[in-house]
Amino acid sequence: WDDLQSRNERLPIAVGLIDHGFVFLDGSLAVITESELYPQQTRTVNKRDQKISTENLVRDLSEIRKDDPIVHIQHGIGRYKELVMLDMGEGDTEFLTIEYAEGDLLYVPVSQLEMISRYSGGPPETAPVHRLGSEKWDKAKKKAAKKIRDTAAELLNIYAQRASKKGLSRRLDATGYATFCEDFPFTVTRDQNQAIEDTIDDLKSDKPMDRLICGDVGFGKTEVALRAAYVAIADNAQVAVLVPTTLLAEQHFQTFSDRFASLPVQVRELSRFRSKKEVTETIEGLKTGKVDIVIGTHKLLSKEIQFNNLGLIIVDEEHRFGVRHKEALKALRAETDILTLTATPIPRTLAMSMEGLRDFSVITTPPEKRLSIKTFVMTYSQGMIKEAVLRELKRGGQIYYLHNEVDTIERELEKLTEMLPEASIRVAHGQMHERDLEYVMRDFYQGRFNILLCTTIIETGIDIPTANTIIINRAEKFGLAQLHQLRGRVGRSHHQAYAYLMTTDGVKLKGPAKKRLEAIQLMEDLGSGFFLAMHDLEIRGAGEVLGDSQSGDLQEIGFQLYVEMLDRAVQSLKSGKEPNIDIQIPRGTEVVLHTPTLLPDEYCPDVHERLIIYKRLANTSDNMQIEKIEEELIDRFGLLPEESKALLASHHLRIIGKKLGISKIDSAPHKTKLAFHAEPLFDPMEIIELVQMRNNIRFSGPSKIICEHDNLELTEERVKYLMEILNKIIPNKEN
């Protein structure tokens, strides 16, 4: 690029890759690149970085809007207002504005965004608003911290018990396993492959496995379970698959029977759909060892079921079992390998803080050829319903019609029957007799009728690949997470799926209901719900791992801070220290370069985009991450202006300063000051030697040094000088 600019030509031409498309400002031309049309082709952003950026979606303030709740670690929960430009005497700097109770405003410089996290402890409308300077926030943190200490101790106790027990390491028959894997008709996704490798490694180790596979519906968790089952059976162990409903047992039975059809493996189902004779044979077969895989509901946990050599338990959607059954599972955990599958999103941040306490694998990549669900929001229209249903029937598909009022569901059935005489319609709702409901769902699964008129009872249900249209009546009455889950009932195959969210005719939508429907329409991306549409489910996921008693504290202090405090408590206890519940504010390094450090408006015009980049920079913990962001900025917006170079340099200095325990770096053209925390993270002799060697460096009090120097007007000169000084303090450490 420099070479191109230096050429004295009127129209220089360069050949290069364009990774991201763009639109001319006058709208006359839009360029769409190959990498955007075919994302599986090479891109400069590597897969590892993509994974990190999705993990941090919530943390990066992505999707934050005016008046959304936001947490400042020192001042508590307020409402985000805007990014503003202020001149504090050193040129323009951007500040994030937070409004607290009684209209008080707090201006947070973008360099300190590590103090800020998005609030996700419950619905935004119910998030508390604290008063600046009040004690309420400190009390909430202290109360949560006490409970967190107990939680951390309990988690470590479980970990210690698991670590002390020896499991049975499984031998892997590599040839047979490879043949079994070849029968899988789809390409394994990156996340899925990682989950499979983690699970197989667990089975081969001599510690009892307790792994949770977590992923959006239809993202391939069952294949992980199938491969784990193969490894156990090939090593002469029995496998039990535990599911919450009879219908799911039926579905898993079909899947396992199909995959093991070519092998001498006995797969049996224990459910109400089986005759008494079949049930007796299965129980006997488990006792003698003739049955290799058994699939059933909580009946599998009863005392009458005895196994010959149980080696692996696969649990689907554990949170849907009762307390008694969970306790029975806990007892089994000590003795056998357990693999749990869940579609409830358990955030990676939580998984990381509990690393080693429970093993997690998260699958976030959709299967190849899976299309996103086309979503339409509209007022109730019989014409549209008819068109949507007939289109689906013409391609041999099935339809969910969701009407969530049991009192009027029969009237809705009459309306639909009159409107669609060519369709066969049945009803399913929670007030039906359980057995009748199961038979209706089973008939729908087997394609015996076209339209299932139902309530939200289908929210978590069986996988029906031929059902690819869902019509939701009175959609304004549902929450965002619920809409996402209901929509997830369709689109389980390679066919294009459609979701019609119909609002009540004549009702003008206001506020939250309107926002929810707009959001669900925008979030068509596969897996998007996993990160954004599910803050309430995120909390449910946290409860699933930590116990429901924690949800109150999550609401008081917000999810992000809760997880960070739990992580700190776990690490302290692991190293044998008592958790210090008073240390709440991270020991960061403030960097002042006496020059504007920002992304100028004309360089990156979108305020929202700037906020996300500022937050990503504030979250960086090594220089490589900053370099990746620099590459991305140049790729997207062009060469960096001086203010942005200074911004990145300040973050490089912040990272080194934090590693050394420096509280503030202040570098002006003639003088540089370094202030240290009470307990710096380096040998103090290094500083003493530096002061003795250089006449221009002196102490100013016990925890500060001042460096006088020649006129260093250019920011890059000051940064270079600072790097040299800091390297003298840590000659043997990595920067």
Q: List pLDDT tens digits, range 607-636.
A: 878 888 998 898 888 899 999 999 999 988
Q: Is the predicted pLDDT of residue 80 greater than 50, yes or no?
A: yes
Comparing 303 with 461, the larger pLDDT belongs to 303
Tokens of 70: 């936001």
| pLDDT of residue 438 exceeding 80 | yes
Task: Return the percentage of the chain with pLDDT > 70, whole number.
Answer: 80
Does the pLDDT value for residue 552 go beyond 70?
no
**Model pLDDT, residue 326:** 65
Claim: this prediction has a pTM higher than 0.75: no
What letter would DSSP give residue 251?
H
- Between 345 and 178, name the one with better pLDDT: 178
Residue 298: the pLDDT is: 84
Q: What is the mean pLDDT of residues 329-352?
A: 67
* Segment of 14-18, 510-514, 711-715 carrying the highest mean pLDDT: 711-715
**Looking at 117-121, 399-403, 664-668, which range is the least confident one?**
117-121
> What are the beta bridge partners of residue 225?
none
Residue with tokens 């996340």, as numbered in its chain: 191
Task: Give the chain's mean pLDDT.
Answer: 81
- Reference 559, options 26, 114, 139, 71; nearest CA is 71
Most confident of 132-136, 211-215, 277-281: 277-281
* pLDDT at 340 exceeding the cut of 80: yes
- The helix-helix angle for 623-637 and 607-619 (nearest 10°) equals 160
* Per-residue pLDDT at 532 exceeds 50: no
182 vs 226, 229, 266, CA distance in Å? 13, 15, 20
pLDDT computed for residue 452 by the predictor: 96
Phi, psi (degrees; rounded to nearest 5) at 136: -60, -40
Q: How far apart are the first and last CA of the chain?
A: 29
pLDDT band at 55 (very low <50, low <70, confident <90, very high): very low
Highest mean pLDDT among 217-221, 554-558, 572-576, 652-656: 652-656
In the structure, what pLDDT confidence band is assigned to residue 547 with cuts at 50, 70 and 90? low
The encoded tokens of residue 664 equal: 């503030």
**Gyration radius of the chain's alpha carbons:** 30
> Where does the pLDDT of residue 419 fall: very low under 50, low under 70, confident under 90, or very high at 90 and above?
very high
Give burial (CB, 10 Å; 0-12/13-18/19+) of 362. Answer: buried
Which range of 259-273, 321-335, 362-376, 667-681 scores highest in mean pLDDT? It is 259-273
Question: In this predicted model, what pLDDT tens digit does every residue of 486-509 receive, in sequence order?
Answer: 888 888 777 889 999 999 876 777
- The pLDDT confidence band at residue 140, using thresholds 50, 70 and 90, is confident
Which domains, and CATH codes, for the chain? 69-134 (2.40.10.170), 174-363 (3.40.50.300), 374-525 (3.40.50.300), 590-603+640-729 (3.90.1150.50)
> Scanning the structure block, which residue is given the tokens 């009455």?
477
Say which range, 230-244, 547-561, 677-691, has the weakest mean pLDDT. Answer: 547-561
Got the DSSP string for 449-470?
Answer: -SEEEE-GGGSS----TTEEEE
Reported as a single tens digit per residue, the pLDDT across 272-309 is 778 889 999 999 999 999 999 999 988 888 888 888 99
Residues 97 and 105 sit within 8 Å (Cβ to Cβ): yes
